[in-house]
Structure 1
Amino acid sequence: MDSIKLPHKKFNAKRPGALVGTITEVSEYLRLLYAWIGKSRDNNRTWTSQDFSGNSPYVACSVCYGTGAVIGDIDPSRMIAPELSLKHGAVLLWAGTNCGPVTMIKELAKMIGIDFERPLAEQDKRFTDILLYGYDREPVSYVHKNKQLKGFYRGCVLDLRYMRDAGTTSKGNHRAIVFFSRQVKCPECNGSKLNPESLVITIEGQSIVEVSKLPIAELLLFIRNIPTSLDEHESKISSELIDEIELRLIYLNKIGLKVLPPINDRIQFSP
C-alpha cells in the first residue's frame, strides 16, 4: 500500500468544478482514509472504502438495508390533495381507481354535503377529517360491482393501517403503505446506514459517521490534526489523501458550506 493512486485528479481551487462533485469526492476520500488508517479491534482484517458505504450490501445495516430509515406510521398529510376535488382524485390513496371505497365516498359525499366537483380546500375542513379518519354516525349504502352494499366508511388512514396490520401480500398495497408512511430514523443504526462492525472503526476516537456530521470548519481541523498521531507507514500511505481532503474542505469552508450533506439532501450555506 506504499504507492496508491487516488481515484480523482488533484483539486484546483481556481477551477473547482461542480460543487456536488467536490462534496462527493470528500465523502469518498473520507471512506478511503478510514479504510487505510482507521483503528479497530480486528487489526487482521483488510478494510476497503466500501466498508463505510451504506450502498454496500455487505456492510449496510441489516434492519434498514442501508437507507438509514424505516417505515413509521401512516402520514395523513400525504393522503389528501386539498387542491383537488373528489372527482379529480383528492383522496390520493384511491385516486384513479374505481374500488369499493371510491364508490362509497361518492355516496358519503351526497349524505354529508361534500361537493364532489369542488376542491376540498374550498369546503368545510371537517370533510377532509372525515375522509381521513372515517364517518361512524350512520352506515353508507352504495353499489359496487353490481352489488348493493352497506357499511361504515372507516377513512383512508384507517384503511391503510388495516392493510398494513393484516400483513397484505399485494404489491400495490405494499407500495401504497411505503408511499404514505413517514420515514423515521432507523433504531438499529441511528440513521448511519452502516452495520455495527463498520461503526467501530475510528480515527482519533471518532467513527466516520461522527466525523461526517462535523461542521466543515471543525472537520477541517480534525483532518489537519490527523498526521500528528500517525506512525511512519500510516503517514506515507495517507499524506496525499489527507492533503486532497484538506484542499477540498478549505474550498467548501470558504464558500460557506456548513456541513457535508448526503448528496440527495438540500445543501445549506452559512450567511
Structure 2
Amino acid sequence: MLEHLHSLYERIGENYTASNPNGRCPVCNGTGTVIGDIDPGCMIAPELSLKHGAVLLWSGTVCRPVSKIKALANMIGIDFDRPLSEQDDRFPDILLYGYDKEPVSYVHKGKPFEGFYRGCVFDLQDMRDAETTSKGNLRAIAFFSRRVKCFRCSGNGPNLERFAATVNGRSLLEAWRLPVSELLLFVCHLPASPDNDTDEIVAEIEACLIYLNKIGLKTLPSIEDKFRFPANAG
C-alpha cells in the first residue's frame, strides 16, 4: 500500500516536483528505494487474535497455511479467539519463525497433511525465492519487506520530494502515521480526479484500508523502520 500512496502523492501532491529531470530510475521506478529484507516486525498484529487475522500475511485468506496455523494453535495451546498480546510471549515468535518440536497434522480442503510449521517469515521468503508473479504475492512481498536505498540511483529518485509533498495539508509521513480508521477517512474524502489511473490508485488504497480497519488493525507499520529513515524525517 505504501507504493500506492507514493504514486498518489506524486500525482496530486500540492508541492511535488520530480528531482530527476531525465525520468525515473529504471530500477526503483523513481521512488529512490527498492525492496530489502523481510520485516518480521510488521507481520504479526499482537493486538489481534488469530481468528481476527493476527498473522497479517494470511489474514482474510483460507489458504493452506491458515489451516496449518489453526492446527498448530490447537496443538500448542494458542487461544484462537484471544489477542496474542494476552497470551504466552513465545507465541508471536513461533508464528513468525516456526515450530520444530513436532510436526503439525492438519486438514485442508478435505485432504490430510502433516509437516513442520516453518513460520510466516519462511513462507514469505519462499515466495521471494520462487520469483512469484502473482499480484497478491507481490503485494505481500512489498508490504512485509523493508525499503532500502536504491543501488542504481543511490536514492536520488523523487523520493524526498514525494515525502515533502502534501495532500490536503498532510505529508505522506503524516498520513501514514494516522490510525487506520483516520487514514481511511482521509483517503475517502479526497476530491474526485479526472484521471482514471489516480482513481484506481485511490480505490486500491481504500480497499486495503477498509480491510485492515475491519480486522481491527489500529496502525500501519512504522514507515521509519520500513525505509530506515530517522524518526524525525519529514
* Counterpart AA for 1:112: I
8 Å Cα contact 2:73-2:80 kept in structure 1: yes
- Unpaired runs of 5+ residues, structure 2, are 1-12, 166-170, 175-231
Cross-structure match for 1:174: 138
CA separation of 1:261 and 1:95: change in aligned 2, threshold 3 A: closer
Instruction: Give a deviation string over 1:170-192, Cα, whole Å, max 9, x none.
Output: 11111110111111111222211
Cross-structure match for 1:262: 164
Provide the rounded CA distance (Å) in 1 between the counterparts of 2:83 and 2:172: 32
Cross-structure match for 1:238: none
* Counterpart AA for 1:163: M
Question: Which structure carries more relative contact order (alpha carbon 8 Å, separation 6+)?
Answer: 2
Instruction: Give a deviation string over 1:124-146, Cα, whole Å, max 9, x none.
Output: 12100000001111100000011
Cross-structure match for 1:53: 19
Q: Percent identity?
A: 64
CA separation of 1:106 and 1:261: change in aligned 2, threshold 3 A: closer
* Counterpart AA for 1:122: E
TM-score when scaled to structure 1? 0.54
What SS does the corresponding residue of 2:44 show, helix, strand or coil? coil
CA separation of 1:261 and 1:146: change in aligned 2, threshold 3 A: closer
Cross-structure match for 2:77: 113
What is the number of equivalent residue pairs in this alignment?
A: 159
Instruction: Give a deviation string over 1:196-242, Cα, whole Å, max 9, x none.
Output: xxxxxxxxxxxxx9xx99xxxxxxxxxxxxxxxxxxxxxxxxxxxxx
What SS does the corresponding residue of 2:136 show, helix, strand or coil? helix
* Counterpart AA for 2:55: V
What SS does the corresponding residue of 2:34 show, helix, strand or coil? strand
* Counterpart AA for 2:164: P
Provide the rounded CA distance (Å) in 2 between the counterparts of 1:64 and 1:138: 42
8 Å Cα contact 1:107-1:141 kept in structure 2: yes
The within-5 A match list for 1:113-192 is 113-192=77-156
Provide the rounded CA distance (Å) in 2 between the counterparts of 1:180 and 1:143: 27
* Two-structure CA RMSD over aligned residues (Å): 2.7
Cross-structure match for 1:71: 35
Provide the rounded CA distance (Å) in 1 between the counterparts of 2:148 and 2:106: 38
* Counterpart AA for 2:144: F
Report deviation, 1:262.
2.0
* Counterpart AA for 2:140: A
Q: 1:80 aligns with which of 44, 49, 54?
A: 44
User: Deviating runs (4+, > 6 A) in structure 1?
Assistant: none
